[in-house]
Each structure stands twice: as C-alpha cells, then as structure tokens.
Chain A
Amino acid sequence: MNTLTASAAISTGRVELVAFRRESLALARWRVLWIALVFAAVAAAALLRIAYLGLADHGTTRTSLEEALLPPRGEITDRNGVPLARAFPAYALWYNPKALGESGSPLVKSPQEVAARLAAIFPELDEIDVAERLASGKAGYLRRRVLPEDANKVQAIGELALEMPRENDRHYPQGMLAAHILGYVTPDGEGKIGMEQVLNERLSDPVTRSTPKPLSIDIRVQGALEDELRRGMLAVNAMGAAGIVLDVDTGEVLALASLPEFDPNAVQSEDLILSDEAHKRGETPRAFNRVTNQVYELGSTFKPLTIAAAIDAGVVRDFGKEWNAMPVQVGRFTIKDLHPLGASLNVPQALIHSSNTVTARVADELGPERLRRTMMDLGMNERPYIELPARGFPLWPGKDWARLTNMTVSYGHGIAVTPLHLASAYAAIVNGGIWRPTTVHKLAAHEVPRGRRVFKASTSSRMRQLLRMITLYGTGRKADAPGFRVGGKTGSAEKPGAGGYKRSSLVSTFAAAFPMDRPRYVVVAMLDEPRGTIASSFQRTAGYTAAPIVGKLVPRIGPLLGVRPDTSRDVDLTDLQALVPEKD
C-alpha cells in the first residue's frame, strides 16, 4: 500500500514535471518567437526607413536653383550694364544675450572688453554706449551693415552672443552717384524718391525682377558731371548746383545731378526734412531734386528760344539789321542792359553780348501769342516729361500775356521752369527743331518717340551758328573746349525774394550743346547763389561760374560719348562772322 501510494505519488510527480517542462519549453519558444518578431519588425522598419530615405526626394523639392538665385529686389544698371543698385546679402551685427543659455552672463568676457574690441573694428562705434547695451542684456542690432572682412574679425572675438545674421539689403555700389535718379529703399522694402519708387512694382515682381533694369544714364558721364559740378560749386561757394546731359536725338538723360546730394546707402532724416533754421536760410533738403523739381527764372538762357521763335516766324530775316539797344520803357518799367552796349545791335551781337533790350524788342515784334505758342510747344507750361516722381510745376504767366510779360519772358524773367525744361528746349533748338520728352529709360532705336516739330530745320541750323558764336566771341568763351565745337548761352538771373529781386543772389546757368556741326548732346549746368571768389575773378555771372564747368566737363565726356575732338572742324560761320566786329 505504502509502496503503491509512494510509486503513485512519484508517477504523478513525474507527470507534473514533464508537463511543467513542456509548458516552460513552449513559453520559451514563444518568447524567442516574440523577440525574433520584434527584431524582424525593427529590421523591417529600418529597411523601410532606408528605402524611404533613398527613394523619397523631399530634399530636392525645397527650393529650385532659379528661386534661390532670384534676387529679393531687381537690379538697376546704367546703360552699359554697370550695376547701380542691387540686392546685397549683407551681414548685420545682432546682440543675442540668450545665445549662452537663459541663465548666467550672456558674454564670456566683460562687456567693456567686448565693446573695446568692437570699437577697434568699427572706429565710429560709441564704445561706452555699446558697453552699456551689452551689459543691459537686451537683444538688438549693434550695427546694420558689416563688411565680410569685418564680420570675420567680429567672429574672432569669440563671443557667441554676437551674431552675424545675413540680411537682404539694398546696396548702391556707386555711393552717392546718381542718388536723385535712383532714390533709395526703406527698411520695409518700399522704393522712394527716384526710379526705386517708379519701378517698385517691376523690381519686386518675381517674374520681372530676375532681369536687371537698364537706365539711360552712363555712369562715367554721371561721375564726370557730378565731379565738375561739385568743383564748380565749391569754387564759387554756391548753395547748390544742378546739371544734366541729354541726348538731343532721343531725349535720353545720360547724366542728371543735383548737389548737394544724399547717400542712398545711409539716408538720414535731415536728407528728407529740413530743420526750421535751415529752411529759413533758404536751403532745400538734400533729397530735393533741383533738376526736375525746383523751378528757377533761368534768365538769358531763354534768349535763344525767343530768337529761334522770331527766326521761325520770319520776324528776324536779315541778321545784319540793327535793332535799337537803348532802354525800353514799358509802362512804369524800364528794361535795361546790364552793361549798355551802344545805340544799336544786330541779332548775333545781341546774343553774343546778351542784350535784354534787343531781345525784348524782337519779342515785341514777334508778339505775345507766337512766343507763348513756342513756349507751350517746348513744354514750358507743364511739368517736365521724365519718369522721376519729383517734377516741379513751372510758374507760367497764364493765358493772356501783357506786352511787358512777353518782353520779360523773352529774356527769361517772369517765367520759372526747371533746368530739365531748358535742356529739352535746347535739344529741340539744335537737333533740327524736334521736341521730344526726356526719359531715364534706355531706349532701343525703335522706341525713340517721334516728338513734335517746334522749329524749322533751317531755324535750327541758324541757331547752331548763333550759339556757337556766343562761345567763340561772347559771354560763353570759358565753355569753349578746344576741338569740341561747344555752343551755348549763359544766363544769370536774380532770385526773386521778398519785395522784388534780390540783387545779391543769382542763379547762374549755362545751357550748351556739342558738337555744334552735328549736335549730339545738350549740357546744362546751373549754380544756385554763386559768390564772387578768386576762382571766378570775383564774378558771379554764368560766364565766369557755370560756363567753365561745361568747358571742363565736355572734354571729359565727349570721347566717352563718341564725340572726337577735332580742331579742323566747325560750324560754317562765314555768313555771320562779318556781322560781329567784336570777334577780334
């Protein structure tokens, strides 16, 4: 019984053991299977991930090459493709106090030390101010523009808190050159003043901004014009100066300068708005364009327009005819010459010596309606035709001209226009009589406007002779650059002030064209309130102040513009020479 029970107990224990072994084996198998499955799943996931990384091309779809190379704002170039304004990925210097983590000092070195190192790189930086800003722990710009080489030096300081983010910036490589034509861009990307404002749409449109926009100006001519104008302005201590070089056959502006100028790379608020004291002194903001926006009484430079109108109308046919040059009494006004030139003068002499009395008498015979018609044909009664947004409205004498108005307009008083008006009128005089609107866009041959005829071609060729005679024998002698056949007219007008004209302040202008045997370019130089200095032999009139500017400018720009100086060529003056005994 005992043995039986014992054997039974053993057998049941063995059975249990076998069952237990089987169970644990099965469990172990399952566990191995599960682990293998997990491994397989991980491996499959890894393989899938590899396949995904290998096959998916999400990396390439981020930006295309064109998009990446598309400038944020289009480029402006001159007529030869020299960049004048371009989007420029510049560095800025940003102070980020959180760069080393939230807590603790934002800088490794002391703020004073870092400020001293920064001031060594940027000498114009205020060291104490920068040290205070670094110590205050406030994020902000330390500098908006940093050159790459300076950026490297800042990196070498070794402060992580000094960050150099790349920012898209508008850069004008030529600095202040052509600032009034180009304008500037505000920090929020809005074009202002010049072509930046006019072309704002085109320059920001992704479709059109990839191709640079050429302007009509030639940067070499612009540089020479500004250089000579500045020198002329400083030599006579003038308040301002304006100059323009215009293609007579197309109306393209090759250079346009208004001094003093502003720097589009760093526009200051006083460039745009003047303080009250400066305003009282009669100054204009630097961003103000004297060529297209400021109207002046341009004085004697109008005389050729009057004479041209008179020749055109048949009033002046005989150039040898003597005109009375004694003072003209009109009502209670007397028109006199600056220097009395004798009892009578013929028309060439009147232009050479700039006689007000003869011009007034010619205009009187021409009549107010015909002179008014000519002035209107030359666009003197409307804003100048140019794309720039700043265009001044002329002071126009209105509809019915009195006899006195007619006479004063004939020598450039009682009418105030911009220097640009004058330049396009002179272009019409010398180019065969066609007036064309001026433009700062580069024109292809087929885009040149037809213009409108103001003078007969015969009148134009007569005027070329007369203008040439003024620089050969008359008031414009200082503008006669040898070999360039310059012809032009001086004009010195007193500026109107409170209670009549101010005798002390003049506007001296010289309007010229060259070469006179086949005119290609008109040059106008104007000085605002020149003073008599040693450089101008203590004279303020245009013959001593504005004419020398043209005389020095033309030899610089002529060869660049394809006008070869040649002393063996000139306009044929033989029929008029005999009429001016002064030529010797």
Chain B
Amino acid sequence: MSGSRLHQIGWLAVLAICGSLFLALSFRVHAVKSEVLLAERQIIALERETLMLETEFEARANQRQLAEWNEVDFGYQAPRADQFFESELQLASLSAPLGPAAPSPIRVARADNATDGAAPSASRTMVSPVSGRPVTMASAAMPGATATVAEAFGELLAEASPVRSAQARTLLSAEAAE
C-alpha cells in the first residue's frame, strides 16, 4: 500500500518535473522567437536606413552633378585617342631612359666555352637594371631566411613565402655548363 503510494507520488513528481521542463522550454522558445523578431525589426530599420543613405548618395552624386564637377572643378575631358594603348609594348616604350652605366635591357643566353680555359665568373653580382649598381637582395642578407620561416610557419607557408622566392635566380654559367 505504502509502496504504491510512493509510486504514485514518484509519478506525480516526474509529471511535475516534465511539465515544468516543458513550460521552461516553451518560454525559452518564445524568448528566442521574440529575439528573432527584434533582430528582424533591426534588419528592417537598417535596410530602410541603407536605402535612404544609398538614395541620398545617388541623388547627390547624380550624373549631372558629376558632369558639372568634372567640367567646372576638375576640368576633366574625355580621353583622346593617343591616351589609349594598343599593347604592353606601347606602354613599355614610355618607360624612363636608361642610366649611363646600365646594362642593355636585352639579355642573351650565353654558354661559356669550357675549352677556352677562362674561369667562369662565378661571383657575378646582381645589378640594378636601371642604374647598373650592384644590388643586395633581402634573401642574400638573410641566408637562413627560409629555415626561419619554415620554423615559424611550417613548410607549407615557407613555400609560399616571398623571402624564399626572392632567392630564385637564373643559373650561373658554371652551373649551366654542368
């Protein structure tokens, strides 16, 4: 008798707990719902504001106003035919003239004839194509750069690192002859 009564009380307790849990969950759901509603209202308000600002911007920057500014304030004119380029070659023709000691911009591949006996100039330094002065590259100044980068960021990033790519160079004639 007392056991079944205990059972009954137990069931009732379970029911009460479930009921209260359900109620709490429902409250939570509806709280989230109203948060969503609030967010939607904010979205609407922001969208309206965006529309307003965009329209104001469009109205202030209308074509007629821009044309007036271009003409009166800046004195812009439509580009002439000679301001357009046909190709990269035409663009390159506009570059600055070379300095007095600069090497010729056209390089020709050269294979040293080993039978000449002349020692291949292994220690040829890189020179600036404009001034002709020797240039020290960042990678040359930091011999262990790749290793440092690999240590810090891993092999994958070291591969993509600009420090490493700066070390790339054309084969020296000694290496090319091998």
Contacts and interface: CB of A to CB of B under 8 A. Distances in A.
Contacts of A226: 64
B86 interface: yes
A223 B58 contact: no
Contacts of A175: 59, 62, 64
Contact of A556 (B48, B66, B78): B78
A171 B40 contact: no
Interface in B24-82: 26-27, 30-31, 33-34, 36-37, 40, 43-44, 47-48, 51-52, 54-56, 58-59, 62-64, 66-67, 78-82
Contacts of A565: 79-81, 84
B15 interface: no
Contacts of B84: 483, 559, 564-566
A177 B86 CA distance: 34
Interface centre among A57, A65, A567 (most CB of B within 10 A): A65
Interface string A74-106: 000000001100101100000000000000000
Nearest to A220: B63
Given A54-B30, A566-B81, A171 B55 contact: yes
B26 A177 contact: no
Interface in A291-306: none
B64 A227 contact: yes
A559 B78 CA distance: 9
A566 B90 CA distance: 13
Nearest to A67: B44
Contacts of A68: 40, 44
A274 B23 CA distance: 72
Looking at chain B's contact residues, the main secondary structure is: helix
B55 A174 contact: no
Given A65-B44, A83-B58, A88-B55, A482 B80 contact: yes
A59 B37 contact: yes
Interface in A474-531: 482-484
Contacts of B81: 482-484, 565-567
A439 interface: no
Contacts of B62: 173-175, 177
Contacts of B64: 174-177, 223, 226-227
Contacts of B36: 60
A54 B26 contact: yes
A174 B30 CA distance: 46
A338 interface: no
A147 B63 CA distance: 20
Nearest to A565: B81
A59 B58 contact: no
Interface residues of B, number: 33
Given A83-B55, A223-B63, A565-B80, A89 B48 contact: yes
Contacts of A227: 63-64, 67
A483 B30 contact: no
Interface string A217-236: 00110111011000000000
B80 A86 contact: no
Interface in A527-558: 555-556, 558
B45 to A, nearest CB: 10
A51 interface: yes
A4 interface: no
Contact of A555 (B34, B52, B80, B86): B80
Nearest to A483: B81
A69 interface: yes
Given A54-B27, A566-B86, A223 B80 contact: no
A44 to B, nearest CB: 15
A148 interface: yes
A88 B80 contact: no
A75 to B, nearest CB: 10
Nearest to B58: A173
B63 A174 contact: yes
A59 B34 contact: yes
Interface string B96-131: 000000000000000000000000000000000000
Given A54-B26, A55-B26, A173 B55 contact: yes
Interface centre among B47, B52, B78 (most CB of A within 10 A): B78
B51 A89 contact: yes
A148 B27 contact: no
Contact of A57 (B30, B56, B59): B30
Contacts of A60: 33-34, 36-37
Contacts of A82: 58
Contacts of B55: 83, 86, 88, 171, 173
Given A65-B43, A219-B63, A148 B52 contact: yes
B43 A173 contact: no
Contacts of A148: 52, 56
Interface string A56-70: 010110000100110
B85 to A, nearest CB: 9
Nearest to B34: A59
B67 A555 contact: no
Contacts of B63: 174, 177, 219-220, 222-223, 227
A177 B63 CA distance: 8
A65 B66 CA distance: 36
12 contacts: A55-B27, A55-B30, A65-B40, A83-B58, A88-B52, A89-B51, A173-B58, A175-B62, A227-B64, A227-B67, A559-B79, A567-B82
Pairs of residues from A and B, 10 with the lowest C-beta to C-beta distance, nearest first: A483-B81, A223-B63, A173-B58, A565-B81, A555-B78, A173-B59, A556-B78, A54-B27, A174-B62, A68-B44
Interface of B: 23, 26-27, 30-31, 33-34, 36-37, 40, 43-44, 47-48, 51-52, 54-56, 58-59, 62-64, 66-67, 78-82, 84, 86
Given A86-B55, A223-B64, A568-B86, 7 more contacts: A51-B23, A65-B43, A69-B44, A175-B62, A222-B63, A226-B64, A556-B78
